[in-house]
Amino acid sequence: MIAIVGAGPAGLSQAISLVLFASIPASSIQIFEQRPAYTRTTFVLLNGPTVERLQCMGVRQILLRNQAIGNCRDLYLLDDMSKHTYTHENVPTNPLFRPVDVDELICAQLNGVGFVSVSLQDLETALKERAVELGITFITKKVQQLVSNGLCYSIQTDEIIDFDLIIIAEGAKRNLISRDLGFSTKLLSQRDIFVRVHVSPVGPVVAVGKNGGKRLLYGDSAHSRDALVFLQYPKDKLDEINTGTEHFFSNASNGSLNAVQEYGSKATLDFLSQLPIHPSPKITSIAPETFVVQDKVLSQAMIQNVAVVGDAFRQGHFFTGLGTNLALVADCDLVISLVHGMLLGDPMSAEEFNDNMLSIAEMLVNTDLNTWFSE
């Protein structure tokens, strides 16, 4: 019996992968999730190997049917004034499952191989639809606590339930991890404060720049929704605003709000002026809250029968959603290997699982530090 705590992209992809690629009966998997509906409209960029995996999982077909996924076209690297046009190879109709090397995922993301964009809401909806099709059980009870008897952990809701494996995919808040497992967190990059701005029209375009502050734009290629612009707030002016935290946006005072709005407007217009997009995009809204981007990782990813994946284990990875791609593919491949070993009576040790997850995090952080977080 396997429990998965959290029904975001990381948790749902784990469940589907275990059924399809590890021969675990759907009846043996229970997903615990409290959210009544998916509402996150922020979108992410998925690369070619990830899209192929979603096809294997039967999820890309749902996204296409729902018209929720679209190809990105152009990438502008403003620091060297270069433009790259993405190419999109046809995804095989019935691709065979194959483990994907982490290097392949990272290279595909950095080079825009087969980029598509999808909102988190649409991605989560499609993943859940596929999980329901497969017969995976969803439990809406709150997980109150992880309880250990010294040898293994159980889940406590209104009762204590035993599982052979508990996969924690609760996202960045890490409530259970910090309280019940006692894992510490290591900071791996500087702490940057960002402003979020919505602009339109943009189309299927991605743009990155660091001169004058770190800036990122990506347009929604599936719908006509506003594009997102993320702007690093100047470090020498941080005393003007109330900054957010890892999990929560700031509560802006009037003076702080005015400073955020003023900077967001000026920096966005400067950023957009460098892009050959016609007609020229206009600002539709500036979020009053700032938020933090910082790479960090847990001290370990497994203890006894509990494994931690996705944003619950590592955070940051701001560069166009690379962390989502790793959660959908690399983390799933590692857990598949873990479960195969359990079934064969030769389980992967917690140390080996930790080492593999830390290796993935290290490669991700190095990518961040050499691209987005580099000065």
What pLDDT is recorded for position 252?
Answer: 47
Q: How far is CA 268 from the centre of its chain?
A: 24
pTM of the complete model:
0.90
pLDDT bracket for residue 245 (50, 70, 90): very low
Q: Please tell me which residue, 169 or 245, carries the higher pLDDT value.
A: 169
Q: Which of 83-97, 203-217, 256-270, 350-364 has the lowest mean pLDDT?
A: 83-97
What number is the average pLDDT over the span 288-316? 89
Q: What is the pLDDT of residues 339-369, one digit of tens each?
A: 999 988 888 899 999 999 999 998 888 887 7
- What is residue 232's three-state secondary structure? strand
What pLDDT is recorded for position 365?
Answer: 83
Q: Which of 65-79, 83-97, 212-226 has the lowest mean pLDDT?
A: 83-97
Q: Please tell me which residue, 191 or 270, carries the higher pLDDT value.
A: 270
Contact 31, 136 (CB under 8 A): yes
- 37-65 burial code (b ≥16 CB/10 A, e <16): ebeeeebbbbbbbbbbbbbbbbbbebbbe
Q: What's the token pair of residue 106? A: 């990272």
What number is the average pLDDT over the span 300-312? 95
What pLDDT is recorded for position 111?
Answer: 78
Q: Is the pLDDT of residue 373 over 70?
A: no
Q: What's the token pair of residue 183? A: 């894992």
Tell me which residue of 323, 326, 307, 303 sits closest to 315, measured CA to CA: 323
What pLDDT is recorded for position 189?
Answer: 80
DSSP lists the bridge partners of residue 227 as: 199
What number is the average pLDDT over the span 33-57? 87
What pLDDT is recorded for position 140?
Answer: 92
Q: What is the pLDDT of residues 134-154, one digit of tens each?
A: 999 999 988 999 999 989 999
What number is the average pLDDT over the span 288-313? 90
Q: Where in the chain are the domains?
A: 2-45+120-187+296-370, 192-290
Residue % of the chain over a pLDDT of 70 = 91
pLDDT bracket for residue 370 (50, 70, 90): confident
CATH of 2-45+120-187+296-370 given 3.40.50.970, 3.40.50.300, 3.30.70.2470, 3.50.50.60: 3.50.50.60
Q: Please tell me which residue, 76 or 333, carries the higher pLDDT value.
A: 333
Phi, psi of 153 (to 5 degrees): -100, 150
pLDDT bracket for residue 58 (50, 70, 90): very high
Q: Please tell me which residue, 78 or 156, carries the higher pLDDT value.
A: 156
Contact 242, 251 (CB under 8 A): yes
Calpha distance 73→293 (Å, rounded): 26
